[in-house]
A and B are shown apart, each in its own frame.
Chain A
């Protein structure tokens, strides 16, 4: 029996056909690996050619969740994420406003901002490892020349200091990203709002807090989603600057995953960790997206 499709159904078919190619690609490069990871995480996977995997159910998850190193890594990951993204947001907003005010040389500032962002993370990490070197690094050289220290400080030899220095390197790399997004958003804000606020006698702070910041909210949220997810998965910068040391002081959850997966050859445990990371980042993205779309629904 032939049934005639309604116009809406035809539209839907065309729409489906149009998204089909990108949908296929997303399935292939994103969903399939995640499903494979989930599958592998339920097995004990010995490393080697032609070896059999053993199904152990949630065994990998249970043993990981019972290990102190898992929880200390999670703690360090949250510390890394909150501190680095927090400072990046404040600095990024300040720089965006500075550029927006068009001081002399603002175009130069905007262009040079791209440089730290354009440097690959691994190169950035290598550069900071040199900067932090206690005996021939630029940081000690600078502080010594300025007379702020009277002897060189071995920067990367204390776990908490090393963590904060890795965060500093990450901030240097990522602030420009947030600054550029916010600067672009600022440029689209209507100028008449500022004039109206000035006519009504609003102070700059009032204007910033009650008008500019709420209008920037969607842009801030986009920057936050991307940066939080990135920071949560931070690996390469740590690998290069500290290799997880000193005394595991910079072992984040991604670094732990790398150790389990590649160094120790526990593909099952590594997959379980990867899947947990995916869950957390998906949750974060979900929360942000809900927050992001709320104002539009109200309109």
Chain B
């Protein structure tokens, strides 16, 4: 019996040693394979991203780029999981503005400050550099310079007897009321208020459009004041009154696009990519040619003209990548001015030079959508707000998502829900 027990211990020892040995990194031979993780949502289509990869692979025979797509809501967790192994499962990944503080603190993203030339630095919007910069160091190239826009179905507006889009949310409700009374559309608005980051984006648009803000100058939560409660109450009220599609409480951006594409909503707030897809894609849209954009409305008496959210992202190299130089080469290619101009239908370049002089005329002509989205970008971007850049953002965001959902599903009053979320933010900041 004793010998069996000692054999057992020996076995356990062997297994543990074997598992440690098995974890040693292996160096791949042949052309350097660069594995890229990006998203399929609210941006360039998979076809466009694959075309860029094909162009790069052809021009660089010594590097082979392999690209993978996930939904936005899976992206953060997939990156952090991939970074747990060494070498990491991906060499290059797309990271959201709100994750850079966390990724820089964790040491996941390569410091590329010295790899960026002064020329490149000066030709890109300062607001774009803010996305990938943490404590003065650049951790990637900005990409997907995006913000939320206001979309309206001109056809439905005309049927209701309106020639101009609403400039304020109050005006919008008045127009929605007429639409409902005339039976033009059952729910004039559709939102992405599901328990996802998308809800935070919509909330920023409404909160800042009411003169509020997420955090104060010191970074303390400021959304649980009278303005915040009033704004959240407005959201609840629009569902109760039937102005907002009640399914919005379970929706993300793609659901908004699908509902809007069917002509089942007159107003929506979404990212840049929706304009091209609803207006020019006859396979996916029943309202092609009827969709217009205008400045996102604000609330009356708030002293604010418009508010949007800066939803820009960046491409970074994994700090522990086995081939950082090859990986950086791909990032540079992907974010280069010529590639960005060529594939600008669903994302706009972050090169300020693309918006100047002759280049602007060219940019507006690259795709049919650009003629509208490029001027609209210039008009809306000054009103875009950023979310707090804190290492604990995912947890802070989840607590605020929960608060919005609790109010929208009437589990709590808006005041109580927002106070609870604010308390969580204070606790996280400690």
A binding-site residues for B, Cβ under 8 Å: 16, 23-24, 27-28, 31-32, 47-51, 133-136, 151, 154-159, 162, 242-249, 258-259, 262-265
* CB within 8 Å for A242 and B245 given contacts A49-B108, A247-B402: no
Give min CB distance, B278 to chain A, whole Å. 15
Residue B395 lies at the interface, judged by CB distance under 8 Å to chain A: yes
Chain A residues contacting B392 (CB-CB under 8 Å) are 264
Q: In chain B, what residue has the closest Cβ to A248?
A: B402
Bound-state Cα–Cα, A262 to B76, Å = 8
Verify B195–A245 contact, CB threshold 8 A: yes
Contact A24 B249, beta carbon cutoff 8 Å: no
Q: Which residue of B lies closest to A158 (CB)?
A: B409
Number of interface residues of B (CB under 8 A): 47
Are B80 and A247 neighbours in the complex by a CB distance under 8 Å? no
> Would you call B249 and A157 a contact (CB within 8 A)?
yes
Q: Given A242-B250, A263-B76: A135 and B245 within 8 A (CB)?
A: yes
Complex CA distance for A115 and B319, rounded to whole angstroms: 44
Partner of A244, one of B102, B108, B195: B195
A158 to B320, CA, bound (A): 44
User: Which residues does chain A contribute within 8 Å of B14, judged by CB atoms?
Assistant: 24
The 9 residue pairs across chains A and B that have the minimum distance between CB atoms: A245-B195, A48-B106, A134-B247, A154-B247, A49-B107, A156-B250, A247-B405, A262-B77, A157-B249
Which residue on A lies nearest to B255, using beta carbons? A133
Which residue numbers of B lie inside 8 Å of A, CB to CB?
4, 7, 11-12, 14-16, 18-19, 73, 76-77, 80-81, 83, 102, 105-108, 186, 194-196, 245-247, 249-250, 255, 258-259, 262, 264, 319-320, 392, 394-395, 398, 401-402, 405-406, 408-409, 411
- CA A48 to CA B18, docked complex, whole Å: 25
- Given A154-B246, A243-B73, A262-B80; 11 other pairs, CB 8 A cutoff: A28-B18, A31-B15, A32-B15, A134-B247, A135-B264, A157-B247, A246-B250, A247-B405, A262-B77, A263-B394, A263-B395
> How many residue pairs between the two chains, A and B, have CB atoms under 8 Å in the bound complex?
117
User: Are B250 and A24 touching (Cβ within 8 A)?
Assistant: no
Partner of A245, one of B105, B106, B107, B194: B194
- Residues of B within 8 Å of A154, CB to CB, are 245-247, 249-250
Chain A residues with CB below 8 A from B80, complex form = 47, 262, 265
Chain A residues with CB below 8 A from B107, complex form: 48-50
Known contacts A154-B247, A154-B249, A159-B411: does B195 contact A247 (CB below 8 Å)?
A: yes
Q: Which residue of A lies closest to B250 (CB)?
A: A156
* B196/A135 in contact, CB under 8 A: no
Q: How far is the CB of A239 from chain B (nearest CB, A)?
A: 9
Residue of A nearest to B246 (CB): A154
* 24 CB-based A-B contacts, threshold 8 Å: A27-B11, A47-B106, A48-B107, A50-B107, A134-B246, A134-B250, A135-B245, A135-B247, A135-B259, A136-B259, A151-B186, A155-B247, A155-B250, A156-B249, A242-B195, A244-B195, A245-B195, A246-B194, A246-B249, A247-B406, A248-B402, A262-B77, A263-B398, A265-B106
B405:A32 contact, CB within 8 angstroms: no
